[in-house]
Structure 1
Amino acid sequence: MSQADDPQQDPIAYFLQDIAYQGKSERTQAAYERVLRDFEKFLEDGTDRTTTAQTLDSASHRDCMAYIHGLRGAVAESTVATYASYLHRFYGYMTQVGTFESNPMALVVEEIDESIDTDPQRRDISVPGMRSFVDRLAHPLDRAIVVTLLKTGIRAGELCNLDQRDLNLTDDPRDGMTVRPQLDGRPDSLYVSATPSRGSQTNGEHRRASNKRQRDTVIPVDPELRDVLVKWLAVRPDPVSEAKPLFTGTSDNWGRRITTDMVHHTVEAHARDVGWYHDGAGAADNVTPHYFRHFFTTHLRDRTGDRGIVKYLRGDVAQDIIDTYTHDWGSRVRDVYEQHIYQLL
């Protein structure tokens, strides 16, 4: 038996082999291995710490915090967040498969904003300004793409991977539509899975984009987004794929699942029209699909004052953290979301 087949002998090799099977690129695998081996070496050499764990399976949350703290000042804060997320995903997975008893990173990431962009130099667009931008969008697909991104904070790849089964609507206009079991009893909700990865088969279809969230997420659909999606569904081309993608092309790729390139091109074209995108400008100035995720995060966080709920909606935290908040998390998310989500139409 090789080390990669024995999680007890080399947990890192076992984890790397599994994410390779899941379709992660060689570059991603190498990044994970670099971070995990560095943490493993940190544990083995950690003679100056008050904690004594020297192996991955015995590491405590204090070991994890000491490692993350030691990174600060040596690398950028965004890199610190990336390292933390890699460790969290590694421990979360090894706990799920039963190799480790618990995830010591769970308490650590609760205090870290892993992915929230707080760059003060990023373009600042007000809700009224974004409302005017949305008002210019006449094409049903363009409008549905932009409003979905703005109202949910999902990534471009996650939007592309949505199937019709991932959307549950009150008085659903789609005849005979069967939604995911996770959406039963949750009308006007969108299910964003953590499973799809580039190169894998999901719902019987080869996927070209990955969902990068740490947990499956149910996101409320407010009346504005519902209205936009109903109008899109009324004119949406019949899908070519049996997976029945939610968003399909309306031009050369008629009926085929939209791609991340299409989403980026759509957003860029409309952003150029209003002076929000310029060749040669950096991410801080240009409006892209990722900017909409930043807009969602910033405005909803400021309105709610609740980072935990915003993290949940973004898919940045795992189930073990969610459980520390409330046993009725789903209802709380919907209540807070519906009270504070900004109006765009």
Structure 2
Amino acid sequence: MSELDRSAQSHLEYFIEDIAYQGKTERTQEAYERVLADFEAYLDSRGLSVEEANHRDCMAYIHQLRGDVGESTVATYASYLNRFYDYMVRVAEFDDNPMSVVVEEMDEQINTDPARRDISVPAMRGFVAELSHPLERAVIVTLLKTGMRAGELCNLDLRDLSLADRDGEHRPRLDGRPNSIFVDDTPAAGSVYNGERRTASNKRKRATTLPVDGELADVLDTWLRIRPDATTDADPLFVSTSDSWGRRLTPDMVHHMVERRAREHGWYHDDGGPEENVTPHYFRHFFTTHLRDRTGDRGVVKYLRGDVATDVIDTYTHDWGDRIRTVYQDNIYSLL
């Protein structure tokens, strides 16, 4: 075995030994060993070591897996390699993690599907202009301006919103952060959160504080002026104004609201699939696509979506209002 091969092998052994110290089961250790050994053999066939591999080498390895194994297995291999490289960077063995780009592209693959309906900002502005009810306008503009999921929107409580020009108590996390919405990662369907059993789960990887621009602030302020008293002490931000008067909105209610308006606009058909129909999830796709194209900064967009990894959080949120808020305010599209 050459000196290069011994060096590569020592990195793998170092990592496996450390995850054993961390209490990983033998089964998990063996799984990592299989994946890393296969990756090392692939690199060796190309005359490379794990330390020399760049993102294109990693991408080529992941690509050649397809066809031989299922997509879930491909995702597992990518996850294991990403964790290996991330750990080696954190312990100062490697300078960078070439798998981060690969995993990022895999995460965003569904959001960049070219088969999806392509709606321009001016066209979406025309759609919003037809929304006359304050609740529908607030719900849809919030989804479009933040990219949050319908379930996350439904789980928002009044304490999760801070508006500069409106009095009211908010959670301490929002102190010094006017015009912000806090989206927690804790709520889960069936569990009690803020004194109320929830019917939807927040699926983001990390709790996120989102900026509120002037348009969204105005829309939310208008909604709050006519918002019915809530039927629960949790004080939901969005409550029904119809048969379930004062009750927290559910994802089904939000989906029905969006579907009805999209049908009227010709953007939803019974025989249409996710590529054609406009749904709450489409708004998340719209937000991701247009904001990423405007900023050219995937890190900021991933943070706002709640997808960003722990090691990136500190990079973008060290000084609130410096990076995230500035980039967002400078690039968020106008809908009103």
Q: Distance in 2 between matches of 1:217 and 1:334?
A: 12
Q: Which residue of 1 aligns with 2:113?
A: 119
Kept after mapping to 2: 8 A contact 1:71/1:80? no
Map 1:243-258 to 2 at 5 A. 243-258=234-249
Question: 146, 171, 176: which is aligned to 1:152?
Answer: 146
- Structure-2 residue corresponding to 1:134: 128
Q: Which residue is equivalent to 2:4?
A: none
Q: Match for residue 271 of structure 2?
A: 280
| 1:240 aligned residue | 231
In 2, are the aligned partners of 1:65 and 1:108 still within 8 Å (CA)?
A: no
Shift of 1:81: 11
* 8 Å contact kept, 2:62–2:78: no
Q: Is the 8 A contact 2:143 2:280 kept in 1?
A: yes
Gap runs ≥5 in structure 1: 1-5, 14-35, 52-58
- Using the alignment, how far apart are the partners of 1:82 and 1:180 within structure 2? 41
How many Å separate the matches in 1 of 2:247 and 2:42?
A: 56
In the TM superposition, what are the counterparts of 1:47-66 in structure 2 within 5 Å?
A: 48=41
- Partner in structure 2 of residue 182 of structure 1: 173
Q: In the alignment, what sits opposite 2:199? A: 208
Q: 1:28-177 residue pairs with structure 2 within 5 A?
A: 41-43=34-36, 48=41, 70-75=61-66, 79=71, 83=75, 87=79, 108-111=99-102, 112-113=104-105, 114-115=107-108, 117-173=111-167, 177=168
The 1-side partners of 2:76 and 2:176 are apart by: 35
Whether the aligned pair in 2 keeps the contact of 1:162 and 1:245 (CA below 8 Å) is: yes
CA distance in 2, matches of 1:269, 1:329: 38
| CA distance, structure 2, for counterparts of residue 234 and residue 222 of structure 1 | 18
Q: In the TM superposition, what whole-angstrom CA distance separates every residue of 1:85-121 from its partner, at most 9, and x where no partner exists? A: 9948x969xx9xxxx989x997633551313611112
What is the percent sequence identity of the aligned residues?
53
Q: What is the Cα deviation at residue 327 of structure 1?
A: 3.4
Q: In structure 2, the residue corresponding to 1:239 is in which secondary structure? A: coil
Opposite residue 300 of structure 2, the aligned amino acid is: I
On the 8 A contact 1:81/1:115 being kept in 2, the answer is no
Unmatched 5+ stretches in structure 2: 1-20, 45-49
Is the Cα contact below 8 Å between 1:154 and 1:314 reproduced in 2?
Answer: yes
CA contact (8 A) 1:194 1:212 kept: yes
Aligned residue-pair number:
299
* Contact map agreement 1:137 1:143 (CA 8 A) in 2: yes
Write the letter of the residue equivalent to 2:99: V
Partner Cα separation in structure 2 for residue 161 and residue 243 of structure 1: 10
Partner secondary structure for residue 72 of structure 1: helix
Q: Is the 8 A contact 2:316 2:324 kept in 1?
A: no
Contact between 2:317 and 2:324, CA under 8 Å: does it hold in 1?
Answer: no
Instruction: Provide closer, same or farther for how the CA distance between residues 46 and 296 of structure 1 changes in structure 2, counting only shifts above 3 A.
Output: closer
Deviations 1:5-52 (A, max 9, x none): x97253989xxxxxxxxxxxxxxxxxxxxxx9965642476672669x
Of Structure 1 and Structure 2, the greater helix share is in 2
Bigger drift between 162-171 and 201-210 goes to: 201-210
- Secondary structure at the residue paired with 1:219? strand
1:42–1:184 Cα change, 3 Å = same
| Contact 2:35/2:77, CA 8 A, preserved across alignment | no
After TM superposition, give the deviation of residue 198 of structure 1 in Å: 1.6
Paired with 2:205 and 2:154, the residues of 1 have a C-alpha distance of 18
* TM-aligned CA distance change 1:290 to 1:184, over 3 Å: same
Q: Is the 8 A contact 2:78 2:99 kept in 1?
A: no
Check whether the contact 1:165–1:179 (CA below 8 A) recurs between aligned residues: yes
Deviations 1:280-333 (A, max 9, x none): 211111111111111111111111111111111111112312334573364211
If the length of structure 1 is used for normalisation, what is the TM-score?
Answer: 0.74
Is 1:8 paired with 2:23? yes
Letter in 1 for 2:152: E
Q: How far apart, in 1, do the equivalents of 2:177 and 2:63 lie? A: 42
Of structures 1 and 2, the larger Rg is shown by 2
- Choose the corresponding residue for 1:294, options 285, 289, 292: 285
CA deviation profile, 1:177-223 (whole Å, cap 9, x unmatched): 32122111000001111111222221121111111111111111111
Counterpart of 1:128 in structure 2: which amino acid? P
Q: TM-score, normalised by structure 2?
A: 0.76
In structure 2, the residue corresponding to 1:284 is in which secondary structure? Answer: coil
